[in-house]
Structure 1
Amino acid sequence: MLGLFKKKNKTPRFDFSNIGVDMHSHILPGIDDGAPTLRESIMMIKRFQELGFKKLIATPHIMADYYRNTPETINKALDELLEGLVKQNIDIQIEAAAEYYLDETFENKINKGNLMAMGGNYVLFELSYINYPNNIKEIIQRLNDKGLKPILAHPERYPYLGSIENYYKIKDYGCYFQLNTISLSGYYGKQVQKTAEELVDNLMVDFIGSDMHHLKHADALKQSLFTPHLKTLFEETALQNIMLK
């Protein structure tokens, strides 16, 4: 069915201009597994513009064992990127937050109150792809108690969550869901695509994000525009990306 849809539509009938904001990407140069250099950052940003985005919120990884970023390292990379965009006369709004890994250091960061949030108080975090974190309920409640709004990044990509009932539990703890748009294109495989579609069908998606690390993700992001479930998100879901303008 999807193949037929793409055959008949070589050019998407819509783009991302109706939401305007991408709130999950790895476009800051040289600080995580995203863009390695300023040149690649700018190439990715140009692709965002072609797809209708007007604002990007960069969310570099913060992980205790791999990417020990801080507000200082992130803002330094942001300044480098903004300077490069000015030199090339590229007009697009870019801000920086972070994608926090739920590890042993995350709770300490919450307690200290120095998290890099977006839109004032939304905090993006991710889980292990292998093991279910037994303290996820407590972490979400701690964020809420601090006046923060937790957003779980790409919930469709955690295979151990399984049934839709487990997703409802996490939502009931007080958590928003951010779907990786390219999951709908099959980029991560059929099972992730199926889970993503199920989340859309159950009206559980609050935000969509590209999670762009490189230009292959940009290609998949364009392909997602041909999928019926993205069309459903645009037409039937009150996506909250617009709240981050």
Structure 2
Amino acid sequence: MIQFFKNLFGDSAPLEESFSALGVDMHSHILPGIDDGSESLERSLELVQAMKDFGYRKLIMTPHIMSDFYKNTPEIIRGKLDLLRQAVQEAGIEIELGCAAEYYLDEGFLEKLENNEELLTFGDKYLLFETSFLNEPLNLREAIFMMRSKGYKPVLAHPERYTYFYGKFDALAALREQGVLFQPNLNSLTGYYSPGAKDYAERLIEEGLVDFLGSDTHGLKHTASLQKVLSSKYLSKALALPLRNNLL
């Protein structure tokens, strides 16, 4: 089928027909009314259906946890998951749903680590975290050490989007040597966020420095852009790497 489209449309044809090779999306903001993602249960159902149509068999949804803005807790997140699971079942959408969280690296996050509070992880104690896009946190390496010392496997969300690493790719790559796993966003491959993010996402793939791919879906604008990702040659290159999505 893929070859048929290539013969018919040439280079503009999709290189991949779906994201079924990934199987599992481990970064999204689809749970309703909990952060800057889906604002309602109805919109969440639309997004789940869209992801199902893309070939995903499982969604691990990861609401923001930020001390100043999104004061979510494991209890709040699990409650929203239960609500969405029931709605998905009633709608007859066959897909597995799970949850974790995307932790913002701030003092509140470090306090949670120090106090051994419950942190929401996925898979083999994978802990998804992010930082400021503009300024490198002074405690970045301290936080990485703390996560690992507590038995977590830190996963840096969208490493290609941190502008403080632009022009310093080796410094970004060095984090992986410290035990950090990398999860670029699929939509970075279309230039959705910025040309710089696209360049860094492609370079991470070229260098084989990708462990997970995530949709980071917040709304229908992101699922619309995902359609364009299927035409990216770098998606095919990324899928040839030993990604961990399908092991979740």
What is the TM-score of this pair, normalised by structure 1?
0.94
Q: Per the alignment, do residues 88 and 12 of structure 1 end up closer, same or farther by CA in structure 2, a change over 3 Å counting? A: farther
**Structure 2 residue 32 is the aligned partner of structure 1 residue 29:** yes
* Alignment coverage as a number of residue pairs: 239
Gaps of 5+ in 1: none
2:22–2:246: 8 Å Cα contact kept in structure 1? Answer: yes
SS state of the match for residue 207, structure 1? Answer: coil
**Structure 2 residue 201 is the aligned partner of structure 1 residue 196:** yes
- Measured in 2, the distance between the counterparts of 1:95 and 1:139 equals 25
Task: Write out aligned runs for 1:62-77 (5 A).
Answer: 62-77=65-80
| Aligned-pair Cα RMSD in Å | 1.5
- Which residue pairs with 1:234 in the alignment? 239
Moved more, 10-19 or 111-120: 10-19
Residue type at the aligned position of 1:138: E
- Which residue pairs with 1:150 in the alignment? 154
- Measured in 2, the distance between the counterparts of 1:147 and 1:238 equals 23
Task: Write out aligned runs for 1:42-81 (5 A).
Answer: 42-81=45-84
2:15–2:236: 8 Å Cα contact kept in structure 1? Answer: no
Post-superposition, which runs of at least 4 consecutive aligned residues in structure 1 deviate over 3 A? Answer: 5-13
Q: Per the alignment, do residues 118 and 13 of structure 1 end up closer, same or farther by CA in structure 2, a change over 3 Å counting? A: closer
- Measured in 2, the distance between the counterparts of 1:17 and 1:239 equals 13
- Measured in 2, the distance between the counterparts of 1:113 and 1:121 equals 14
What is the TM-score of this pair, normalised by structure 2?
0.93
Residue type at the aligned position of 1:211: D
SS state of the match for residue 39, structure 2? Answer: coil
Moved more, 164-173 or 50-59: 164-173
Task: Write out aligned runs for 1:79-158 (5 A).
Answer: 79-111=82-114, 112-158=116-162
- Measured in 2, the distance between the counterparts of 1:180 and 1:70 equals 24
Gaps of 5+ in 2: 1-5
SS state of the match for residue 105, structure 1? Answer: helix
- Measured in 1, the distance between the counterparts of 2:124 and 2:206 equals 29
**Per-residue CA distance 1:182-208 (angstroms, 9 max, x = gap):** 000110121110111111111111100
% same residue: 43
- Measured in 1, the distance between the counterparts of 2:85 and 2:15 equals 30
